[in-house]
Amino acid sequence: MPISKKRRQTLSVALWGGLLGFGQLAAQNKTQDLDPARVKRLQPYLTTPALIGQGKYSYWGFDVYNASLWAAEMPIAPDQWANQRIALELQYLREFTGADIAKQSIDEMHAQSALPKNKAAVWLKTLDGIFPNVGKGQSLTGIYIPNTGAQFLFNNTSIGEIKDLELARRFFDIWLSPQTSAPDLRKLLFAGRLPS
């Protein structure tokens, strides 16, 4: 069912409100509750997937998405995450358009470190070509591969890749960089491995 422009804008704000620090974040670092299907889905990319940390965003009382960080090796050093394969999974609890996800991703990268307009336009086109519209219960997973780029899954299906190393790194930095606009989420994703 199509959603109105006003509702789409409200949901877009809700999606990224958490990244801007306005949402409530709940810790969910219980590895004993792992779904074997999630682990199996990541095995081709991480071999022995290990859940590092996870959290759920809620905004104005609305659940937005669950975020989970996975790695191929343990432990993972927060300041050196880009030296190993990782997977960042966002399981959506509401509907969002792929175009909104792509645009907000560029805005978040720009907020961390200014992007030249021509680079931002090229990167936006790349992300817009990868991200589909998502609905409740669906997930987008990004797999970061050092010195190669990133691959993306929509549920269990491969939907695209980024070969631009800078874009791949900056995309994951939205959540994992010390400059993230969501430091509380970063703490949850790294499961308390950050200094206070």
Alpha-carbon distance of 83 to 92, in angstroms, equals 28
**135 found inside a domain:** yes
Rounded distance, CA 10 to CA 62, Å? 11
CATH code for the domain of 111: 3.50.70.10
Tally of domains within the chain: 1
Domain extent for 133:
5-189
The whole-angstrom separation of Cα 131 and Cα 173 is 18
Say if residues 90 and 64 touch (Cβ distance below 8 Å): no
Residue 153 lies in a domain: yes
Give the count of beta carbons closer than 10 Å to the beta carbon of residue 11: 19
Q: Which two tokens stand for residue 65?
A: 């998405």
CA distance 69 to 132: 21
- Residue 70 within a domain: yes
The answer to whether residue 104 sits within a structural domain is yes
DSSP 38-88: HHHHHHHHHSS-EEEEEEEEEETTEEEEEEEEEESSSS--GGGGGGS-EEE
Residue 195 lies in a domain: no
Query: In this structure, are residues 76 and 190 in contact, taking their beta carbons and an 8 Å threshold?
Result: yes
Residue 17, SS3 per DSSP: helix
The answer to the question of residue 12 being in a domain is yes
**Is the pTM for the entire model greater than 0.85?**
no
Asked, for residue 69, whether it belongs to a domain, the answer is: yes
pLDDT tens, N- to C-terminus, the chain (196 residues):
444 444 444 444 444 444 433 343 443 434 435 678 888 889 999 988 999 999 876 656 777 788 999 998 777 889 999 999 999 999 998 999 999 999 999 999 999 999 999 999 999 999 999 999 999 999 999 999 999 999 999 998 999 999 999 999 999 999 999 998 878 888 899 985 654 4
Q: Is 19 left (phi over 0), alpha (psi -120 to 50) or beta?
A: alpha
CA atoms of 60 and 79, how far apart (whole Å): 32
**134: in domain:** yes
